[in-house]
């Protein structure tokens, strides 16, 4: 009886992991490092991106070493903006493809 419950629990855990992985199929990831003009890392910068077709917006903050990451996102064209106190803002655009990890720096 106990081994049957363990087997059922293991099967449900594996199925949950597979479903979770399948839900992220068809998406891509966006991450990067914020640097200034002298290539020094910029901690605490605000990074925003907008899907230009759907106008869905995302925002995150760079960590202590300037690294940022967004949750898995739908493929498409994006505009990205980086702002930090005392610095000029930076704006760019990119195309995110299925399964791609876009490295922005």
* Per-residue pLDDT reduced to its tens digit, 56-70: 999 999 999 999 999
Number of neighbouring beta carbons within 10 Å of residue 15? 10
pTM of the predicted protein model:
0.74
Cβ 51 vs Cβ 93: under 8 Å? no
Q: Are 76 and 55 in contact (CB under 8 A)?
A: no
**pLDDT higher at 21 or 39:** 39
Nearest in space to 84 (alpha carbons), one of 41, 24, 49, 55 = 41
Is the alpha carbon torsion for 65, 70, 76, 81 positive or negative? negative
Q: How confident is the model at residue 10 (pLDDT cuts 50, 70, 90)?
A: very low
- Give me the phi and psi of 23, to 5 degrees please: -70, -25
The rounded distance, in Å, linking the Cα atoms of 44 and 91 is 17
The two structure tokens encoding residue 6: 């363990």
């Amino acid at each position: 009886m106990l081994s049957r419950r363990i087997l059922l629990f293991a099967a449900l855990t594996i199925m949950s992991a597979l479903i979770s992985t399948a839900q992220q199929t068809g998406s891509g990831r966006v991450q990067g490092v914020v640097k200034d003009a002298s290539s020094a890392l910029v901690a605490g910068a605000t990074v925003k991106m907008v899907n230009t077709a759907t106008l869905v917006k995302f925002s995150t903050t760079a960590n202590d070493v300037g690294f940022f990451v967004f949750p898995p996102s739908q493929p498409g064209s994006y505009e990205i903006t980086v702002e930090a106190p005392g610095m000029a803002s930076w704006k760019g655009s990119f195309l995110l493809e299925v399964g791609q990890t876009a490295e922005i720096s």
